[in-house]
Chain A
Amino acid sequence: MALSPFGQSDMSIGQRLWQINWSFVLLISVTASVGFGMLYSAANGNLDPWASRQMIRFGAGVGLMLVVAVIDIHVWLRYAYAIYALSLALLVVVEFSGSIGMGAQRWIDLGVFTIQPSEIMKVSIILLLARYFYASRMEDVGRISHILMPLILMAVPAILVMRQPDLGTTILMVATGIAMLFLVGVRIWVFVAGALATIAAVIPLWQFVLLDYQKKRLLTFIDPEKDPLGAGYHILQSKIALGSSGLFGKGFLEGSQSHLSFLPEKQTDFIFTMLAEEFGLVGGLVLIGLYMLLLIYAFAISLRCRSQFGRLMGMGVSTSFFLNIFVNIAMVMGVVPVVGMPLPLISYGGTAMLTLMFSFGLLLNVYVHRDVQIGPGAADGN
């Protein structure tokens, strides 16, 4: 048993590999395969340019996930702050020298591939908060001073990401953080007060901070049909694609909206629309069902874990994953504004895939180390 919070687990690599929840890995692969099929369709029945590259990335992602899963959980605990600091540094780099793409400043070009620091920050925040609260007692959490520091550490990257501007990721990071604060036991009145403060802040935010395109997106969300050829075009076309597909869809490779280019960015943000157009309500339900299974697994893994660090990490990952799914699907159905967020495991995109697999690696890591006790709890335990 570990005597220091940064101690070592006594399992060998082989034991840990054996401990991995392989049915969860299978479920991830099945879901990712749905994505390959859709990318194949998005390219009008071609593996190029998307499906083949996505498969390679997924393969790499599985490798990364397994590596992350078998690394001793203490390592993640030890380097959690360092990883956060590194992610923040990368964010600052894009802030000042990032290349411009798709109208938003999000990438760092490393020559071989590009990385998106905001994606990495999503995972880093989870690690950060799990690390910060892993040893906190209920009394500590009850003090505002105790939660001030993590709020600042969340706010700094959130502001940086929002300035990129990447509203989707900002919301996702902040919401995940809030969910984790909720889980560690922060008093309910703090959330209520926070919500009121947010409402009070929205008015100046609207006035001075939000860019015109963001305001426009929010406004056309209320009634996209008001500007069907302009700002509301994408969402209207997406709704047409969904609605016209019916119960069983138009058939694989037969989505008229997608294949005739009415649907924008069908290989990334709007891939769910394409799936639902080609496979109908049934297809959409199958994918949501797969996601639901993954969420149940994540929930079970988190509850089963005996360390607070692992539990927080597990629920953090699953909440981030959920928000990703929800915002994307709600967005393409016209329920929330179009904020630019890919559908996890399905949408084409390198960094998103790798960071997602990294976070699944953390989740599996929690599963592998489910019985490992860490920190003060460990000292109390046994």
Chain B
Amino acid sequence: MHRDGDRYRTFSRRSIVLFGGKVVLLSGLVGRMYYLQVIEAEKYKTLADENRISLKLLAPKRGRILDRFGRPMAVNQQNYRVLLIPENTKDIAHTLAQLGKVIPVDDHDLVRVKREIKRRRRFLPIILRENMKWNDVARIEVNTAEIPGIVIDVGETRFYPDGDHAASVLGYVSGVSEKDLTGDPLLELPGFRIGKAGMEKVHDLALRGKSGTSQVEVNAFGRQIRELERREGLPGAETWLTIDMELQKFVATRLGNEAASAVVMDVHTGEVLSLVSTPSFDPNIFNRGLSRSEWKELASNPRTPLNNKAIAGQYAPGSTFKMVVALAALEKGIVTPKTRHFCSGEIELGDSTFHCWKKRGHGSMDLVSAITQSCDVYFYEIAKRTGIDRISAMARRLGLGQILDIELSGERKGLMPTRAWKKKVKRVSWQQGETLLAGIGQGFILTTPLQLAVMTSRLVNGGKAVKPHLTRHVVPFDAVEPPLPVYPEFASIGIHPPHLDLVKKAMAAVPNSPYGTAYRSRIKEAGFKFGGKTGTVQVRRISKAEREVGVKKNKDLEWRERDHALFVGYAPVQAPRYAVSVVVEHGGGGSSTAAPIAKDILLEVQRRDPSRGQSAGRSQDQAKKPSSKSAKKG
């Protein structure tokens, strides 16, 4: 016991030390726990929430675009998608094979899915098909039991019900590209679309709306466990345009496959009822994303579907410019309504001969008949005396040679030459022969169809500096009723009213007098009569030799060499309300090609005028909407 007593004392002494050590160490752990869970608790709480809560943006509904009567031009359509969730199927090849019995699936899909699975987590869905037709969706739904891992999901995508008819106004939406990024996280949402052209681009910010947020709890692998809080965003504003979609469709159909454009506007308010450029493109394909071959086809088409000819096409105005020359000459006192000139079919200036379109000549002409019959010699004569600078100044007052700010991007300025301009740009002096050419709207002068419509409006609205526009209202999504548009009283352009009356009288005679160049296109219905002016623009030089042999007829020429056909018009003659400009590239003659189109458009727009009460059903419907007439009065 003695020896054991020694050992026991050592053992018990040392085991007390050891036990004490254990107590100290465990107390240290308790202290550490207290530090973490009480003193530092706040810091770690935040970290834990950051861990588990992930903030997701919810894309807002894009605002619709409506025409002046509330007819939808751009809407959101349900987009049925077929998704594959890899973790829900054991055999992807089998799933795709089963799906292949319902909708077409090829090996390419299998390769793509397998590639995506490698890159992403297995619970994240992979898009197999988008924009599915409803009956395909239904067929998949019925067979879901046999197709493991397949999910049908509904998203929203932009849809343009009228396809290519309104593309020149609406533009299109498309995916966000690198240079569009502004730091707004909404733009970084997968599949988000922004306006890339047209009104979609002009009103993009308003149409976009405000994004909502969704707080979701996620686990360490990013899988969503549940939604904690959801704040819905604000849908984008509805945008009402001045366009009359039915008219727009009518005009687009009327222009057909020609490389042409037409603008219809209200001469008093500047509301553009129709702005068409043909051929056009289907904006829906830009939304879905177009293939290389589709793009190539659009970009290489000689009739330039991607160019909005109504605002960006620049053409010599031809004889439609004669009203401008006439007004400039009247204002300067170079002509009076009684001034006569004799047209022999040509006029000499120095060594050159300037021809009238009518080889035999018009004989004795006064101002009105010179416009009505489009006598070139008369205008050579008065242009020579008026001078290019005065003609250009008058043209500018009428809206030519300048940007008119019609909201759409890509608007071109045209060209109104002056002596100073030529000296500066071409570094040579102005030649008098060039003034003669300007007298019949050729030479350096360039105008756009939009400018021609504005010019016509200003000629017939009492000389007011009307400006064109396309937006009626932008209505926030929660607003009850769209406010009536209020248009400013446009300033006068300062033309002596009797001069305007004289020009109007001449224009009225163009389709209505048997001598007029558009007599074949007159409207016979009482109250619908229209006035206007034809224009035919040569695109090639006619050599002296050819002139002697006989000028080739348009139909014998290559399309590219044919004349441009133009017409500017207004209706009704007694109380002008609508102006139209029509330009058909290489269309032949103004009176043979452009005038019949302008006539059909002007007849249609007058018939569609709600204030006329033509159709009981429609006028009732439109009574609620702010009609253009009340808008004008307002």
Contact B7 A185 (CB under 8 A): yes
Contact A240 B51 (CB under 8 A): yes
Q: Decide yes or no whether A329 CB sits under 8 A from chain B.
A: yes
Q: Decide yes or no whether B549 CB sits under 8 A from chain A.
A: no
Q: Decide yes or no whether A247 CB sits under 8 A from chain B.
A: yes
Contact for B44 among A244, A259, A285, A308, CB less than 8 A: A244
Q: What is the chain B residue whose CB lies nearest that of A322?
A: B22
Q: Which residues of A contact B37 (CB under 8 A)?
A: 242-243, 245-247, 276, 280-281, 284
Q: Can you list 26 residue pairs at the A/B interface with Cβ under 8 Å?
A: A136-B7, A138-B10, A183-B10, A185-B11, A240-B44, A240-B47, A241-B48, A243-B41, A243-B45, A244-B41, A246-B37, A256-B48, A260-B52, A262-B220, A284-B33, A285-B30, A285-B33, A288-B29, A308-B7, A319-B18, A326-B22, A326-B25, A330-B29, A330-B32, A333-B32, A333-B33
Q: Decide yes or no whether A99 CB sits under 8 A from chain B.
A: no
Q: Decide yes or no whether A376 CB sits under 8 A from chain B.
A: yes
Contact A335 B4 (CB under 8 A): no
Q: What's the minimum C-beta distance from B474 to chain A, rounded to whole angstroms?
A: 44
Q: Contacts A243-B48, A333-B33, A381-B4 given; 20 further ones with Cβ under 8 A?
A: A137-B3, A137-B7, A138-B7, A239-B36, A242-B36, A243-B37, A244-B41, A244-B45, A246-B37, A246-B38, A246-B45, A256-B51, A262-B51, A281-B33, A284-B30, A284-B37, A288-B29, A308-B11, A311-B8, A380-B1
Q: What's the minimum C-beta distance from A323 to chain B, rounded to whole angstroms?
A: 9
> Cα distance A376–B37 when bound, in Å?
53
CB neighbors of A among B1-34 (8 A): 1-4, 6-8, 10-12, 14-15, 18-19, 22-23, 25-26, 28-30, 32-34
Contact A242 B18 (CB under 8 A): no
> Cα distance A256–B4 when bound, in Å?
56
Q: Which residues of A contact B10 (CB under 8 A)?
A: 138, 183-185
Contact B15 A243 (CB under 8 A): no
Q: Which residues of B contact A240 (CB under 8 A)?
A: 44, 47-48, 51
The 3 A-B pairs of least Cβ separation, nearest first, read A243-B44, A244-B48, A260-B219
> Cα distance A179–B21 when bound, in Å?
11
> Cα distance A181–B26 when bound, in Å?
22
Q: What's the minimum C-beta distance from B170 to chain A, rounded to whole angstroms?
A: 46
Q: What's the minimum C-beta distance from A120 to chain B, rounded to whole angstroms?
A: 24
Q: Decide yes or no whether B138 CB sits under 8 A from chain A.
A: no
Q: Which residues of A contact B219 (CB under 8 A)?
A: 259-262
CB neighbors of A among B204-231 (8 A): 217-221, 225
Q: Decide yes or no whether B40 CB sits under 8 A from chain A.
A: yes
> Cα distance A46–B144 when bound, in Å?
30
Q: Decide yes or no whether A220 CB sits under 8 A from chain B.
A: no
Q: Which residues of B contact A247 (CB under 8 A)?
A: 37-38, 41
Contact A257 B19 (CB under 8 A): no
> Cα distance A228–B43 when bound, in Å?
16
A-B contact count (CB 8 A): 150
Contact B7 A246 (CB under 8 A): no
Where chain A touches its partner, the secondary structure class is helix
Q: Which residues of B contact A317 (CB under 8 A)?
A: none
Q: What's the minimum C-beta distance from A140 to chain B, rounded to whole angstroms?
A: 10
Q: Binary interface profile of A, 294-337, with partner B (CB < 8 Å = 1, else 0)? A: 01000100110000100110010001001001100110010100
Q: Binary interface profile of B, 588-604, with partner A (CB < 8 Å = 1, else 0)? A: 00000000000000000
Q: Which residues of A contact B8 (CB under 8 A)?
A: 308, 311
Q: Which residues of B contact A308 (CB under 8 A)?
A: 4, 7-8, 11
Q: Which residues of B contact A381 (CB under 8 A)?
A: 1, 4
Contact for B15 among A262, A281, A315, CB less than 8 A: A315
Q: Which residues of B contact A288 (CB under 8 A)?
A: 26, 29-30
CB neighbors of B among A166-210 (8 A): 179, 182-185
Q: What is the chain A residue whose CB lies nearest that of B46?
A: A244
Q: What is the chain A residue whose CB lies nearest that of B44?
A: A243
Contact A329 B29 (CB under 8 A): yes
Contact A311 B11 (CB under 8 A): yes
Q: Decide yes or no whether A150 CB sits under 8 A from chain B.
A: no
> Cα distance A183–B12 when bound, in Å?
8
Q: What is the chain A residue whose CB lies nearest that of B19?
A: A299
> Cα distance A244–B52 when bound, in Å?
12
Q: Which residues of A contact B25 (CB under 8 A)?
A: 322, 326
Q: What's the minimum C-beta distance from A366 to chain B, rounded to whole angstroms?
A: 13
CB neighbors of B among A278-292 (8 A): 280-281, 284-285, 288, 291-292
